[in-house]
Amino acid sequence: MTPIGCQEALQRLYEYLDGELTPDTTEEVRRHIDLCAGCYPEVRSATEFRDALHRAALGQPLCPDALRRKVAEMLREEGLSA
């Protein structure tokens, strides 16, 4: 396996974090960023950013009960007796 450089590792960083790379490419990127001090701030920052978005996603409101009832009623009228 040929080691990849900083540019390639950072270009694929999001695909790596999103789990979108093949197992081989994932391993190449992982090997690089685990050992590269130069890439560390970018990797850390991208990770913090994604974590913040995931936290925000969990904080979104759920479907209000009134809307849940409206949808159920609408579907009942359409023939779905939920």
Residues lying near another protein in the complex (CB under 8 A) are found at 7, 10-11, 13-15, 18, 20, 40-42, 44-64, 67-68, 70-71, 74-75, 78-82
Instruction: Give 24 or 78: the residue with its C-beta nearer to another protein.
Output: 78
Q: Residue type at 82?
A: A
Quote the least distance from Cβ 1 to another protein, whole Å. Answer: 21
* Residue 22: φ, ψ to 5°: -65, 160
* Cβ nearer to another protein, comparing 30 with 44: 44
CB of 25 to another protein, least distance (A): 14
Amino acid at 55: R
- Helix then strand then coil, % of the chain, to nearest 5: 70, 0, 30
